[in-house]
Chains A and B, each alone.
Chain A
């Protein structure tokens, strides 16, 4: 492992002041489950490693405030899986989080780190995109918020500037009922990177939000408001044509070892159809649940 200086700021202003001067020669350490591998393999070297885990402002965990659930940058994937708010409002994020690495990895890895690495295969990305995540960024000029969809640029590259760090990820609490599902294809069961990831969410209004990853340089979010995909009277052809147009941005790498472009594109369609059906069932279940609750009250 290359030598570096370890920096452990106690609060956000210390962190931001350091990055203002040394941002271009600093790598940020949260869970470290990707960073330490890159350092070990000499894929990166950096004079400074800045550990964000003891920044006092980042000790907030997962909180709900003003219609938004905020996930602090130091919250681990395991904390997310166990959290009641995330389970209640964002079940597809739980499904995705459970597929990240192993127990040992999830006990260290953070969702903020997962998006900052900007892997096209990041499991948390499709559900976060579908649920409308915003990234809260701290920098020397203050705080800013951008939609996650604008945060991802391409593999390994984000909109984060050298003097900035991610403070939190915010998810708006759904205002209408939403059915969602997360799916992935891997080479083997268990502990493996995904060859295709997909999250589908359906709102009560018929709007379908679809996000997919590992089939291009960055995860993609597409929204369809036509209502065709949830229309029980619409023909399968019409639905497939709509789904097909939603997959137009998929352009899998020809050089990846995990799967060929043809396989990924074929599986994307399989997952799309499956995800849509699962999301519709999830929404139906929510509606049924409410109906029986109302009837029970009479």
Chain B
């Protein structure tokens, strides 16, 4: 039996004191233990980006990080994007632009887009494509996802 390790972290503005087994991935902690099921699992090897969350403000694949490595970190998942029951501008724009089809990749796309805009508030189309390259969409919504990110950044003439 693996020895449990005490960890502390802030997830979506809430503080957690937890005991985690060393081999538990951050993804498993979020999804299975804490029910943040917006964070999906698909490839499990850092290729698809559906498990993207922000750790201390940086987009990472939560399947490639141990829960214990997040000890002391501040984490944001897709559940933390809305404020007081209201969708964020990014979420609204994804809906308006039809950047969502089946929706499975959407939480990861939103997290990567949030990170991109936090680093580069007014990216070019090329920068959005590069910034979102770690998130696959099997419905093929790429154009609309890029459009949505550009719209939020005000690059298309400020339409919101």
- A contacts, CB < 8 Å to B: 1-6, 8, 29, 32-33, 36-37, 39-41, 49, 51, 53, 78, 101-105, 107-108, 190-191
Tell me the dominant secondary structure on chain B's binding face: mixed
Q: Are A191 and B133 in contact (CB under 8 A)?
A: yes
The stretch among B31-39, B57-65, B87-95 that forms the contact with chain A is B57-65
Query: Residues of B with Cβ closer than 8 Å to A?
Result: 2-3, 5, 21-23, 25, 44-47, 49, 52, 58-61, 63-66, 68-69, 112, 115-116, 130-131, 133-135
Q: A101-B46, A108-B64 given. 16 additional CB < 8 A pairs?
A: A4-B22, A8-B68, A29-B66, A36-B66, A37-B45, A37-B46, A49-B22, A102-B46, A102-B135, A103-B130, A103-B134, A104-B64, A105-B64, A107-B58, A107-B60, A108-B61
Closest to A190 in B: B133
Contact partners of A1 in chain B: CB under 8 A:
23, 25
Residues of B with C-beta under 8 A to A39: 23
Interface-centre pick from B23, B45, B63 (highest chain A CB count, 10 A): B23
Contact A103 B115 (CB under 8 A): yes
CB within 8 Å for A104 and B44 given contacts A36-B64, A191-B134: no
Most chain B CB within a 10 A radius of its CB, from A5, A8, A102, A191: A102
Contact A105 B134 (CB under 8 A): yes
Residues in B neighbouring A6, C-beta threshold 8 A? 5, 22, 66, 68
- Which chain A positions have C-beta within 8 A of B59? 103-104, 107
Q: Which listed residue (A2, A3, A40, A49) contacts B44, Cβ 8 A?
A: A40
